[in-house]
Amino acid sequence: MASLMFSAEGFVLLITGLTALLGVLVYLIFYELFQRYGGRPVEEKEDELKYYPVVSGWEVKEVQTPPISYVIVDILSRAWRGVSRTLSRSSEAFLRDWYVYAYLLLVVIVAVTLVLRWWP
Amino acid sequence: MNEWLSILLQSLIYPGLLTMIVLVIVTQWYYRKLSGRIQYRRGPTYTGPAGVLQPLADFLKLLAKEDVVNRYGLKKSPLIIAVLAIGALIALGLVTPLAVQPLWAPYDIVVIAYILLLAPLALAYLALSIPNPYSSIAAGRYLALLISADPIYISSLLTPVILAARHTLVPYSAYLTSTVSAGLWVDSFLSAITMFIAAISGFIGMMAILMIKPFDFPEAESELYWGLFTELGGPRLAMAFFIKFIEKIILPLFYVMLFLGGPWPVNPANWWLSAIVVLVKYFVVLAVIAWVDNSMPRFRPDQGIRFLWKYGYSLAFLALILSFIA
């Protein structure tokens, strides 16, 4: 059997359409159908703890999670210790310098001048 | 009209939804049996002949549970993202030689690369949808892994596609490249070297995306309870497993298509013979993955990331540069 050729735009539309169609089918079959006709309650009686995270028998009222970006940066900086140390030192030194703030102020003044056409 | 009917039937039956469900069951059984043998266990034996229906029983058990989300969790959006990722992965089956009439377009590899990224992002979103310190750490680890592994896998896949476009004027299409990819190994010495380097980096990238040991630190059983899956249960866990298992079919399939000659040595026009050859090669790749998974210890996250950047990136980009020279 021959393969079916599409234009690049047609291919994007087709794959997106198929993704949506198959996604809806998977949702209807594997979630709605099973939840409606097969889903069994975890407990016979509803209790409040069911909807709280529980650790060691105690409900957790405030869940604390570490920021994802912190975890990613931490892993990358551990992977490249030398590079991250150099980068953090140099960037800290650069940011501490008052020249940077003066430079940023100058950039803002130039930008505002250009936008508002403040020239003769 | 016939073309659209063919696409619909392919997406629903073969190699679409129905076939993918069967393939997930068979591949999971195969993987668990192999893992069992490597670890001196018997693997699944109880449900169905030789335990082949055990993955289906596990899946149905999870689906039939009540969907409980604690009061801090997101209710509907994780499910929507998860089913879209599953739909996208199943749709990608239609661009492989398994399809009766494979779909292709010029530059389709770009669309495929984007769609392949949906599944890992859906897994991360599912993990983050119910707040828990362990799943948050795992999601952070997973995203760090993806930042490092995905460019390696995608640029490795691009290498044979670029080589095929330059040598055989195939217009940057994954399926058409699979019909000529065997020839790229013997086209010239430089082409063979390029394919070899890209095949190594592609395998490393694929293992990392699939969280195969030594890159399983986002899952990190016993270290982070169950990593990404810690807070998931019932149908949400079933969806997460479904994504993970279909990923384990689609990623190696693209590897087989682009690096292991696709349907070679049979004629790609003969779809059922092509499909059999591709499936046999796929099961060999899966056996290698299972062997590596059961033989390696786990990297620390920083070790894994460093390994990927040091070796994976350098090999993948070297292959990419060579593909323009070869």
What does the pLDDT look like over B235-269, one tens digit per residue? 999 999 999 999 999 999 999 999 999 999 999 98
pLDDT at B39: 93
* Proportion of chain B above pLDDT 90, given as a percent: 85
Interface with chain B: mutation pick from A22, A35, A74, highest number of B CBs within 10 Å: A22
Phi, psi of B102 (to 5 degrees): -60, 145
With cut-offs at 50, 70 and 90, classify the pLDDT of residue B325. Answer: confident
Whether chain A has a CB inside 8 Å of the CB on B117: the answer is no
**Given a cut of 90, is residue B293 above it in pLDDT?**
yes
If you average pLDDT over every residue of chain B, what do you get?
Answer: 93
Segment among B116-125, B163-172, B294-303 with least mean pLDDT? B163-172
Does the pLDDT of residue A120 top 70, yes or no? no
Sign of CA dihedral A38, A39, A40, A45: negative
First to last CA, chain A: 73
pLDDT at residue number A19: 96
Residues of chain A found within 8 Å of residue B147, distances taken between Cβ atoms: 72
Q: Give the 3-state secondary structure of residue B233.
A: coil
Q: Is B152 left (phi over 0), alpha (psi -120 to 50) or beta?
A: alpha
Check pLDDT > 90 for residue A48.
no
Q: Give me the residue label for tokens 């594997």.
A: A30
Q: Which residues numbered 224-263 in B keep a CB inside 8 Å of some CB on A?
A: 231, 235, 238-239, 242
CB < 8 Å from A in window 140-199 of B: 140-141, 143-144, 147, 175-176
Amino acid at B94: L
More confident of the two residues B244 and A3: B244
Alpha helix segments (H runs only) across B169-270: 174-184, 189-209, 234-259
In B, which residues are within 8 Å of A51 by CB distance? 68-71
Cβ-based neighbour number of residue B325 at 10 Å? 9
Average pLDDT over residues B292-305: 94
Q: Which residue has the higher pLDDT, A120 or B62?
A: B62
* pLDDT for residue B193 is more than 80: yes
Reference B286, options B315, B260, B309, B316; nearest CA is: B260
A42 contacts chain B (CB < 8 A) = yes
Cβ contact, residue pair B133, A78, below 8 Å: no
Question: Residue A14 has which token pair?
Answer: 């087709």
Q: CB-based burial of residue A40 (10 Å sphere; 0-12 exposed, 13-18 middle, 19+ buried)?
A: exposed
Q: Are A27 and B84 in contact (CB under 8 A)?
A: no
